[in-house]
A and B are shown apart, each in its own frame.
Chain A
Amino acid sequence: MSTTDTALLTTPLNALHIELGARMVPFAGYSMPVQYPAGLMAEHHHTRKAAGLFDVSHMGQLRLVGPDAAAAFESLMPVDVIDLPVGKQRYGLLLTEEGTIIDDLMFFNKGNGEIFVIVNGACKVGDIAHIQSKIGSRCQVIPMPEMALLALQGPQAVTALSRLAPGVEKLVFMTGGNFTVNTGTQKIDVFLTRSGYTGEDGFEISVHNDHAEALARALLAQPEVKPIGLGARNSLRLEAGLCLYGNDIDTTTNPVEASLNWAMQKVRRAGGAREGGFPGATKILAALADSTGAGAPKGTRKRIGLIALERIPVRDHTELQDGAGNKIGEVTSGLLGPTIDKPVAMGYVDTAFSTLGTQVVAIVRGKPVPMEVSAMPFVPTRYYRG
């Protein structure tokens, strides 16, 4: 994405980022903090041991409203939307007619025919247009540019947030609700979910732009909390085995190749009560049948995790080869994982090489680096499930 000839947008926390000494970079059309003075490594470790505050206000928030909203939204995704209970959140995928991925997202059933959706910042304009054009006649599609989004992540996130918003500690992973945050000087209404993008326990907090800075300052005033930039967000999510849209999934990959079968509930699969009926269903259901049958057909590829056997970082777009020097795939995200303290990556390989423990070779600056196909997450997740 080019941002060279358009002015960068800013989030409501822009002045705070600058005050905190953040290094700002263009990301998804916004000027965003890539790191604060503590640096990426310290920020990563702080999030894993205490609590980190992330500004993710560049992401798109929208509401789908109306009695037909769930059924309408379900027609865009290979996912069970209709049966998601009120008060719960789920991962979803918008698909092209070819069954490839337009975007990945989180949606939440607020009840009374209202679904709250969070999409990727770089995709939000396209996503909203897509949703509007496909289901705008069946429900209201209401973008929420007036809302900021903060993420508070880490094992002490609940301690810090429940001090200001009692009750949040009762939520379990992938649930949420409306809460009031008492900063001491004001009471701020928020909508939050117990979820995130780091593999840790934590919360994502939707708050009106006008109150975002006051909320952020109140959270940063808690002893557990430090500000965390996009750099650590990326290393945390990769260690957690979570896809980054644009790197690991895009409109050239389908959910089966992307190892996202878990996101496609049985009710939408072959033999399910609401089988198919989403864009690209014929292709996806055929790919699912192949992938869960006697063995994937030759020529298909699969997203896998990789750990390098030497201490050499293997980055995005690095070619992967078999032992004989044949190209078998490519790394889509890779870095030295600060917590696992090893070079980790995800990428796509020919399915013949996708079994755990398989050794492949990454070609880094012309030199072979051995890597082993490894289970993800690389670092155990610590979601709170009650």
Chain B
Amino acid sequence: MTIKYTPDHEWLSVDGDTATVGITHHAQDALGDVVFVDLPEVGAAIDAKAVAGVVESVKAAADVYMPVTGTITEVNEALRADPSLANSDPLGSGWFFKVKLSAPAELDALMDETSYTAFSAAA
């Protein structure tokens, strides 16, 4: 399993032709207490870099971008019911949605953990 990161502070964990997507620890820390998430429809085909969802804290709202082109196969209903999972466990139970990759080669353009750590430290 490979973890990749976007410049918009999403992570994706790739398992075969499916990836699980969430927001990074840095993203949830910058947002503060998450109180609402808007998740995509299961079955929606969404292009890379298009808006796939929304995450809101009391003080701010941010779009969640599609890291790669694909079709939504599952969304995290537990996160919809308890948005604070995005803060307490952003890389685990706070995941947002799963996507079936249409163009796995897009993964090559994303950052690995070392690159992302350096990127988010500079952000």
A interface residues (Cβ-Cβ under 8 A, vs B): 34-35, 39-42, 44, 231, 234-235, 311-313, 315, 335-336, 338, 365
Judging by beta carbons under 8 Å apart, are A40 and B57 in contact? yes
A-B CB contact pairs (8 Å), 6 listed: A39-B33, A41-B32, A41-B33, A335-B58, A336-B36, A365-B54
B interface residues (Cβ-Cβ under 8 A, vs A): 32-33, 35-36, 38, 54, 56-59, 61
Identity of the chain A residue whose Cβ is nearest the Cβ of B30 in the assembled complex: A23
Identity of the chain A residue whose Cβ is nearest the Cβ of B35 in the assembled complex: A336
Judging by beta carbons under 8 Å apart, are B58 and A34 in contact? no
Known: A39-B33, A365-B38. A336 touches B58 (CB 8 A): yes
Residues of chain B lying within 8 A (CB to CB) of residue A42? 33
Whole-angstrom distance between the Cβ of A345 and the nearest chain B Cβ: 13
Known: A365-B38, A365-B54. A335 touches B32 (CB 8 A): no
In angstroms, Cα B58 to Cα A338, docked, is 8
In angstroms, Cα B59 to Cα A245, docked, is 17
In angstroms, Cα B59 to Cα A40, docked, is 8
Known: A40-B32, A41-B33. A313 touches B61 (CB 8 A): yes
Whole-angstrom distance between the Cβ of A205 and the nearest chain B Cβ: 26
Residues of chain B lying within 8 A (CB to CB) of residue A235? 58
Which of the residues A41, A311, A312 comes within 8 Å of B58, measured between beta carbons?
A41
Known contacts A313-B61, A336-B58, A365-B54, then 4 further A-B pairs from the complex at CB < 8 Å, ordered by chain A residue: A35-B32, A40-B32, A41-B33, A235-B58
Identity of the chain A residue whose Cβ is nearest the Cβ of B29 in the assembled complex: A23
In angstroms, Cα B37 to Cα A313, docked, is 10
Identity of the chain A residue whose Cβ is nearest the Cβ of B81 in the assembled complex: A311
Identity of the chain A residue whose Cβ is nearest the Cβ of B57 in the assembled complex: A40
Whole-angstrom distance between the Cβ of A367 and the nearest chain B Cβ: 9
Judging by beta carbons under 8 Å apart, are A313 and B59 in contact? no
Judging by beta carbons under 8 Å apart, are A231 and B32 in contact? yes
In angstroms, Cα B36 to Cα A261, docked, is 35
Whole-angstrom distance between the Cβ of B115 and the nearest chain A Cβ: 25
Judging by beta carbons under 8 Å apart, are B38 and A313 in contact? no
Residues of chain B lying within 8 A (CB to CB) of residue A39? 32-33
In angstroms, Cα B56 to Cα A312, docked, is 9
User: Which of B32, B38, B54, B59 is the most central at the interface, judged by chain A CB atoms within 10 Å of its CB?
Assistant: B59
In angstroms, Cα B54 to Cα A315, docked, is 13
Judging by beta carbons under 8 Å apart, are A40 and B56 in contact? no
Residues of chain A lying within 8 A (CB to CB) of residue B36? 311-313, 336
Identity of the chain A residue whose Cβ is nearest the Cβ of B33 in the assembled complex: A41
Residues of chain B lying within 8 A (CB to CB) of residue A44? 58
Whole-angstrom distance between the Cβ of A364 and the nearest chain B Cβ: 9
Residues of chain A lying within 8 A (CB to CB) of residue B38? 312, 365
Q: 3 shortest A-B CB distances, which residue pairs?
A: A41-B33, A336-B35, A231-B59
In angstroms, Cα B59 to Cα A235, docked, is 8
Whole-angstrom distance between the Cβ of B40 and the nearest chain A Cβ: 12
Residues of chain A lying within 8 A (CB to CB) of residue B35? 41, 313, 336
Residues of chain A lying within 8 A (CB to CB) of residue B58? 40-41, 44, 231, 235, 335-336, 338
Residues of chain B lying within 8 A (CB to CB) of residue A338? 58
Judging by beta carbons under 8 Å apart, are A34 and B54 in contact? no
Residues of chain B lying within 8 A (CB to CB) of residue A231? 32, 58-59
Judging by beta carbons under 8 Å apart, are B54 and A335 in contact? no
Residues of chain B lying within 8 A (CB to CB) of residue A336? 35-36, 56, 58
In angstroms, Cα B21 to Cα A213, docked, is 45
In angstroms, Cα B36 to Cα A336, docked, is 9
In angstroms, Cα B57 to Cα A313, docked, is 9
User: Which of A41, A235, A338 is the most central at the interface, judged by chain B CB atoms within 10 Å of its CB?
Assistant: A41
In angstroms, Cα B61 to Cα A231, docked, is 14
Identity of the chain A residue whose Cβ is nearest the Cβ of B32 in the assembled complex: A40
Judging by beta carbons under 8 Å apart, are B57 and A315 in contact? no
In angstroms, Cα B32 to Cα A126, docked, is 33
Residues of chain A lying within 8 A (CB to CB) of residue B32? 35, 39-41, 231
Judging by beta carbons under 8 Å apart, are A234 and B59 in contact? yes
In angstroms, Cα B58 to Cα A336, docked, is 6
In angstroms, Cα B56 to Cα A311, docked, is 12
Whole-angstrom distance between the Cβ of B41 and the nearest chain A Cβ: 13
Judging by beta carbons under 8 Å apart, are B54 and A40 in contact? no
Judging by beta carbons under 8 Å apart, are B56 and A313 in contact? yes
In angstroms, Cα B80 to Cα A312, docked, is 11
User: Which of A34, A235, A311 is the most central at the interface, judged by chain B CB atoms within 10 Å of its CB?
Assistant: A311
Residues of chain B lying within 8 A (CB to CB) of residue A35? 32
In angstroms, Cα B59 to Cα A127, docked, is 28
Judging by beta carbons under 8 Å apart, are B61 and A40 in contact? no
Identity of the chain B residue whose Cβ is nearest the Cβ of A41 in the assembled complex: B33
In angstroms, Cα B70 to Cα A69, docked, is 70
